[in-house]
Structure 1
Amino acid sequence: MIETRAALVESARASIARGSKSFAAASKLFAPVVRERAWLLYAWCRACDDLVDGQDHGHDRTIVTDAQAQVDRVRALSDMALDGQATGEPAFDALGVVARETGLPRRFVHDVIDGFQLDADDWRPRSENDLYRYCYHVAGAVGCLMAVVMGVSPDDDATLDRACDLGLAFQLANIARDIDEDDRVARCYLPDEWLAEMDMPPGQHMKPPFRPRLAVLARRLATRAQLHEDSAAIGTKALSFRSAWAVLAAAGIYGDIARAVAARGERAWDHRVTTSKAAKLGWIARAAVQAARRQSLPDTPRDHRLWTRPR
């Protein structure tokens, strides 16, 4: 059965409402057509992530025994959708709709899928550069896709770099928050070099004696996330007011996750860090002011010390 665009949008809306209250709140600030396309793109990302990571809308992660088969399925269905074929899977048909409507570059879609391949390969970062490469594939490339959804030209590398920065900031915050959750399914995204620097044996970083040292690394992740978040703010000058409003609200809401992890120190993983409804509303209000003033931001060149996406 081929679902109508309206049905796909409704399915995507339900997906983001269940999978991410932060992104769902920020998405409401987009102009209607951009909002729908953002939901459609999110539905694809969420479905792919759930298939490869054994999750249900980002929750209840389990160890996947057929990860490679799931990545192969994601790749095949995504290519079908990009080729204009109906897949029979709402989340993948959603990708097809938004790709046709906005001209999503296939290379960014493939870059995201390559991130799922890294997880299927049980890949672990050795260096900080490895960490950023992973963050690009699973989140930075999504930032580039979202920029195109918001009307940025696929050839506007300067703005795409800033959009990638926001994706990197989100993923660094995710990694800091989810260290314990990842450890429970035998995953670790902290670079081996960082663990060695802190004299933490592989696989032992969540043990109580190492919590103070782990807190140091969590603060490092939060600091790196803030640098990319600040860089991303400059890119909002290229967006419409409503798109800039949504992006800045999401940046603030999600940035609070990294900041809360850093502030909690070694107790950061006692309870999952979330942002309250009041905090979300606060960021929505602040982001409106930031968006209105975004053109007064200095035209500062992107910091050359920041990790840059592959061309």
Structure 2
Amino acid sequence: MSVSATQNAASRDALSAYGKKTIKQGSKSFALASLLFGREMQADAQMLYAWCRHCDDVIDGQSMGEDAPDAEMTAAERQRRLDRLRENTRRSLNGEPVGEPAFDAFAEVAARHHLPKQYPFDLLAGFALDAEEACYETLDDTMRYCYGVAGVVGIMMAILMGVDRDDEETLDRACDLGLAFQLTNICRDIYDDARAGRIYVPAALLGAEGVAADPASLLDETNKERVWRVAISLLDSADDYYASASAGVRRLPPRAAAAVAAARNIYRDIGRRIREGGPDVWRARVAVPGARKAMLAVSGIVTGVPSSLFLKSLKTPPRGALWRRQSMQ
């Protein structure tokens, strides 16, 4: 191996270690699921996650998504941060050094997989909705946000897993999984977001329950049952996207199918806990215990691998009336 090749391998190893550390800190569920990938795919997925996590944290003023978004950050400061993220992302995609591990990791992955530039900038456009303090009047508005911050991540991850960049049908299913994840996130974090001055739940759904679309109304104890019913409505929508995404798992390589099925099972269980926990479920953070995560991951392996090996050629059912993705640019 030449000196240059040795240096490149060492650099990739360092960036891979950074990605692995980030995903372990930022998402235990995704970290567990990613262990089912092969070595190279695992490193790529973790490095892409590290860039996504970094961008999200910068916009929100968070650390690994653990704490609530910084409610004191001004819109002007968020815009300044967004502009910097866009510039560094542009430089990374053009092969220019940035000198920050999140962007160096992203540049490595984007180059290896010829990642279309549209998708990273769609993600940043999703974060821009936070910088602009966007309001979400309808479910369609919320779905557009979900695409920008999560659906597009599903698309990029699918490309890393070997899905052809022109295979729109399979990319749609990958997007659906991201949409389902984000709808689940919105329901899990509904009170944390309200305390930070943010509402991602459609105002129309809240209004149907007699709840005003403002943080004070969401945080009003007398509205907790109404808010819970709105969350259940969103989780019903999430289930439609989980079902659609499940039909696309068989289009992935076996180990990728196992990992995606595992992540789907774990995240969907968060919604189940909200349903079964009732209006008081948010008194503690809604989370899936480690032992159950392991069980759900094993279930993902049991269903994901055979579907990839034996059902790949079957035609996927139509998506029907589900929300259809479109570029944020």
Q: Supply the distance in 1 between the matched residues of 2:117 and 2:316 (Cα, whole angstroms).
A: 30
Task: Please report how far the alpha carbon of residue 199 of structure 1 lies from its aligned counterpart in structure 2 after TM superposition.
Answer: 1.0
Q: Supply the distance in 2 between the matched residues of 1:146 and 1:245 (Cα, whole angstroms).
A: 14
Q: Does 1:44 align with 2:55?
A: no
Correspondence list, 1:69-218, <5 A = 69-203=80-214, 204-218=217-231
Deviations 1:233-269 (CA, angstroms, capped at 9, x unpaired): 1111111110000000000001111111122121121
Q: Supply the distance in 1 between the matched residues of 2:127 and 2:15 (Cα, whole angstroms).
A: 23
Q: Supply the distance in 2 between the matched residues of 1:5 and 1:288 (Cα, whole angstroms).
A: 28
Could you state the TM-score of these two structures normalised by the residue count of structure 2? Answer: 0.91
Q: Quick check: 2:191–2:218 contact (8 Å CA) kept in 1?
A: no
Greater mean deviation of Cα atoms: 181-190 or 215-224:
215-224
Q: Supply the distance in 1 between the matched residues of 2:305 and 2:52 (Cα, whole angstroms).
A: 30
Task: Please report how far the alpha carbon of residue 34 of structure 1 lies from its aligned counterpart in structure 2 after TM superposition.
Answer: 0.5
Correspondence list, 1:9-20, <5 A = 9-20=16-27
Q: SS of the counterpart of 1:95?
A: helix
Query: Which residue type is aligned with residue 305 of structure 1?
Result: A
The gaps in structure 1 that reach 5 residues or longer are none
Match of 1:237 in 2: 250
Q: Supply the distance in 2 between the matched residues of 1:280 and 1:19 (Cα, whole angstroms).
A: 16
Match of 2:235 in 1: 222
Taking structure 1 as reference, are residues 296 and 4 closer, same or farther at Cα in structure 2, changes over 3 Å only? Answer: closer
Q: Supply the distance in 2 between the matched residues of 1:195 and 1:261 (Cα, whole angstroms).
A: 17
Q: Supply the distance in 2 between the matched residues of 1:112 and 1:302 (Cα, whole angstroms).
A: 26
Query: Which residue type is aligned with residue 324 of structure 2?
Result: T
Q: Supply the distance in 1 between the matched residues of 2:213 and 2:233 (Cα, whole angstroms).
A: 19
The gaps in structure 2 that reach 5 residues or longer are 1-7
How many residues are paired up? 310
Q: Supply the distance in 2 between the matched residues of 1:300 and 1:153 (Cα, whole angstroms).
A: 16
Q: SS of the counterpart of 1:145?
A: helix
Query: Which residue type is aligned with residue 308 of structure 1?
Result: R
Match of 1:4 in 2: 11
RMSD between aligned alpha carbons? Answer: 1.4
Q: Supply the distance in 1 between the matched residues of 2:21 and 2:162 (Cα, whole angstroms).
A: 24
Task: Please report how far the alpha carbon of residue 299 of structure 1 lies from its aligned counterpart in structure 2 after TM superposition.
Answer: 3.0
Match of 1:25 in 2: 32
Q: Quick check: 2:151–2:175 contact (8 Å CA) kept in 1?
A: yes
Match of 2:325 in 1: 309
Q: Which segments of structure 1 move beyond 4 Å, counting only runs of 4 or more?
A: none
Query: Which residue type is aligned with residue 98 of structure 1?
Result: V
Match of 1:57 in 2: 64
Query: Which residue type is aligned with residue 123 of structure 1?
Result: A
Deviations 1:23-49 (CA, angstroms, capped at 9, x unpaired): 000000001111000001000000000
Q: Supply the distance in 1 between the matched residues of 2:121 and 2:136 (Cα, whole angstroms).
A: 20
Q: SS of the counterpart of 1:304?
A: coil
Could you state the TM-score of these two structures normalised by the residue count of structure 1? Answer: 0.97
Q: SS of the counterpart of 2:143?
A: helix
Q: Quick check: 2:255–2:305 contact (8 Å CA) kept in 1?
A: no
Task: Please report how far the alpha carbon of residue 187 of structure 1 lies from its aligned counterpart in structure 2 after TM superposition.
Answer: 0.2
Q: Supply the distance in 2 between the matched residues of 1:94 and 1:153 (Cα, whole angstroms).
A: 22
Q: Supply the distance in 2 between the matched residues of 1:103 and 1:226 (Cα, whole angstroms).
A: 32
Q: Supply the distance in 1 between the matched residues of 2:316 and 2:169 (Cα, whole angstroms).
A: 12
Q: Supply the distance in 2 between the matched residues of 1:52 and 1:194 (Cα, whole angstroms).
A: 27
Match of 2:42 in 1: 35
Greater mean deviation of Cα atoms: 243-252 or 268-277:
268-277
Query: Which residue type is aligned with residue 301 of structure 1?
Result: P
